[in-house]
Amino acid sequence: MSNYIYINDVGPRDGLQNQATILDPQARIELINRLIDSGIPGIEICSFVNPKAVPAMSGADQIVKAFEGNQTCDFSVLVPNMKGYELAKDAGAKTVTVVPSATETMNQKNINMSLEETLDSAKEILKTATADNLNTRAYISVAWECPYEGKVDSARILSIADQLLDAGATELILADTIGATNPKDVSVLFRQITQNVDPSILSAHFHDTRALGLANVVAALNEGISKFDACIGGLGGCPFAPGAAGNLATEDLCSMLHQMGYQTNVDLIKLLDAVEYISKQLKKDIGGRMTPWFRKSLYPA
């Protein structure tokens, strides 16, 4: 079994989409460059949403074009609908991501569409992207628990997964959007889905709302999952999901994995430099749980 764990940092999109301070495209490009320099292998760089609805994601085309031809990192962009997909393709995006939620109410609250409509839209995008020879990724949001409907039946997740994979998704990410799950339930769902889906195309996206983000990663690792989302500084939280705190901090995830003997190819010192940069840009102190300890170990009094 490989000792390498793939980390996808969602900070430039998920982490910044709901911040009080809106960063211009150039500041976000600088953040992405710093993440690349730290060795992060995958980065979600932007979202092709309506900038009137999400001002923090304006200039998505500029960001994609800024990294045209870059071969050192896997870049992905979120596309909420077919219009967003067309804009992303025209900008030169190579990997597009869809994010349907697993429950009726979450989809209604998020994008004012039913679960069936959301899945139909996601599948249309995946099929079109496949025909256009683009890489495709699909999330299943609120895969364990919904803030409106409570715990989600795993049978529904397995059905949605089959539909998204059949439509052309080459990677599937199960997302604990509100940070409500626990290691036992993480193990159960991944054990079920890996009976029919190769673990190599599965990934996990955890929030640290209830301080279980790292524990949930270990549970997923034990089920053969080797790809994880994380967010620099622990930023993020879905604006349409009440109670959703920040994402699992990339620096916490990398630190734990390194201590467990896994390889990530991420330079923690350079990653912490990126944390310092974004902290200054947002004008607030951010960072994972390990950040104070790491700073103290680097610069002892």
C-alpha–C-alpha distance, residues 98 and 100, integer Å: 6
The answer on pLDDT for 295 being more than 90 is no
Mean pLDDT for 234-249 is: 66
C-alpha–C-alpha distance, residues 153 and 192, integer Å: 12
Kindly report the CATH number that applies to the domain delimited by 6-298. 3.20.20.70
What is the residue whose two structure tokens read 């967010």?
231
* Share above pLDDT 90 across residues of the chain, in percent, rounded to a whole number: 85
User: Where on the phi/psi map is residue 236: left (φ > 0), alpha (ψ -120 to 50), or beta?
Assistant: left
The 8-class DSSP code of residue 199 comes to G
The answer on pLDDT for 281 being more than 60 is yes
Which comes out higher in pLDDT, residue 301 or 86?
A: 86
The answer for residues whose C-beta is within 8 angstroms of residue 266's C-beta and 6 or more apart is 7, 38, 39, 40, 250, 254
**pLDDT tens readout for residues 202-239:** 999 999 989 999 999 999 999 999 999 999 999 975 54
Q: What pLDDT does residue 1 have?
A: 47
Q: What pLDDT does residue 301 have?
A: 59
β-strands 42-47, 6-9 pairing: parallel
Mean pLDDT for 140-159 is: 97
Q: What pLDDT does residue 241 have?
A: 44
The 8-class DSSP code of residue 204 comes to E
C-alpha–C-alpha distance, residues 132 and 96, integer Å: 11
C-alpha–C-alpha distance, residues 213 and 218, integer Å: 9
Which comes out higher in pLDDT, residue 299 or 144?
A: 144
- The yes-or-no answer on residue 46 being catalytic is no
Residue 140 corresponds to which tokens in the numbers above? 């299943």
Alpha helices in 168-229 (DSSP H): 183-193, 213-222
Q: What pLDDT does residue 242 have?
A: 45
Highest-scoring range by mean pLDDT, 1-10, 161-170, 283-292: 161-170
What is the residue whose two structure tokens read 């960072």?
287
Q: What is the pTM of this model?
A: 0.94
Cα dihedral 167, 183, 41, 248 in deg (nearest 10): 110
Handedness of CA 46, 136, 140, 39 (dihedral sign): negative
The 8-class DSSP code of residue 205 comes to E
**pLDDT tens readout for residues 26-48:** 999 999 999 999 999 999 999 99
The 8-class DSSP code of residue 67 comes to T
Q: What pLDDT does residue 244 have?
A: 43
The answer on pLDDT for 57 being more than 80 is yes
Which comes out higher in pLDDT, residue 10 or 241?
A: 10
What would you report as the CA-atom Rg of the chain, rounded to the nearest whole angstrom?
18
As to burial, measured by CB atoms within 10 angstroms (0-12 exposed, 13-18 middle, 19+ buried), residue 188 is middle
Q: What pLDDT does residue 199 have?
A: 98
CA 242 to chain centre: 18
Strand-pairing partners, residue 173, are 139, 203
- The confidence band for 92, taking pLDDT boundaries of 50, 70 and 90, is very high
Mean pLDDT for 42-64 is: 96
Q: Of 46, 146, 238, 254, which one is the catalytic site residue? A: 238
Q: What pLDDT does residue 291 have?
A: 84
